[in-house]
Amino acid sequence: MIQPWEYGRVPKEWVPPMSTLVDEIWVPSRHVFRSFVSSGIPSERVRVVPNGVNTSLFSPDAKLYPLATTRKFKFLFVGGTIWRKGVDILLQAYRDAFSKKDDVVLVIKDFGQNSYYRGQGAGEAIREIQSDPDAPEILYMKDMLAESDMPGLFTACDCLVHPYRGEGFGLPVLEAMACAVPVIVTAGGATDDFCTAETGYLVQSRRKSFVSKDIDLVGGSGWVLEPEALSLGELMRRVYEHPAEANEKAARALVRVRTDYTWEKVGTQVLDRIRSILSRPIRRVQMSYLKAV
């Protein structure tokens, strides 16, 4: 089974089948590994197999995607504009840290508003800021882009901002790093695996209890990270005012991705796990036999 998860503890109903019927559960980050194990899934059943990046496509040489703005410095957010992704914190921090006088724009590439995130987006809050004559500029993009255009969206911008509350991995962060674009991310979550103070900017955060009426989590509650808007705003100003420093971090991040997160590297890990599984008895067959005797 390949299964990411974002909320610290897994649903109760997952635990029995994952513990008894699955030979291995592949999770994309150490954060998810800890979530599964702390929920009662046997640690020997869970393996970290990260996502990868096509570094031939996601590259600093990607042709710039044309953006409808004259502003010089461009922040970028990529993902669904939902609570879990922290877009409300981003809007607050951006509005507090900048004004119309700053030569800056926040490019928001939204996803899923016509499908899995329908009715959950921050479009109204974005439009409210856009209508304020004193607010810094926001360029809101809802249209789908071809996969071949996505690398150019990253390289057309100066910094990716991803102040998530919960992520299983955070692929847009890794894709930005592969394009040598500086990144600002929440500290303490899934992106810690590949984004450190050497390769990006880390937003201060605190752990916060998470309860959902729709999900019966192990222990009654899980947790998310609550990024500090003040910390985020300060880091955005830092990158805006010190681009050379940010680009140095981005150069180190590019090396990190090309060393450990190409699909060739990840593919090797996948093959290793498959070989390991094939060398052992099939777990569900074992369990069926034990029940029979």
pLDDT tens across 236-276, in order? 999 999 999 999 999 999 999 999 999 999 999 999 999 99
Say if 80 falls within a structural domain: yes
Q: Are residues 44 and 79 part of one domain?
A: no
Say if 149 falls within a structural domain: yes
Say if 61 falls within a structural domain: no
Q: Are residues 176 and 219 part of one domain?
A: yes
Q: Which domain holds residue 275?
A: 12-50+263-292
**Cα atoms in the 13 Å half-sphere on the side-chain side of 55:** 20
Say if 62 falls within a structural domain: no
pLDDT tens across 44-78, in order? 999 999 999 999 999 999 999 999 999 999 999 99
Q: Are residues 24 and 92 part of one domain?
A: no
pLDDT confidence of residue 281: 87
Say if 55 falls within a structural domain: no
* Predicted model pTM: 0.93
pLDDT(92) > 70 = yes
Q: Are residues 255 and 146 part of one domain?
A: yes
Q: Are residues 143 and 274 part of one domain?
A: no
pLDDT confidence of residue 123: 84
Q: Are residues 268 and 250 part of one domain?
A: no
pLDDT confidence of residue 292: 58
Name the domain count of the chain. 2
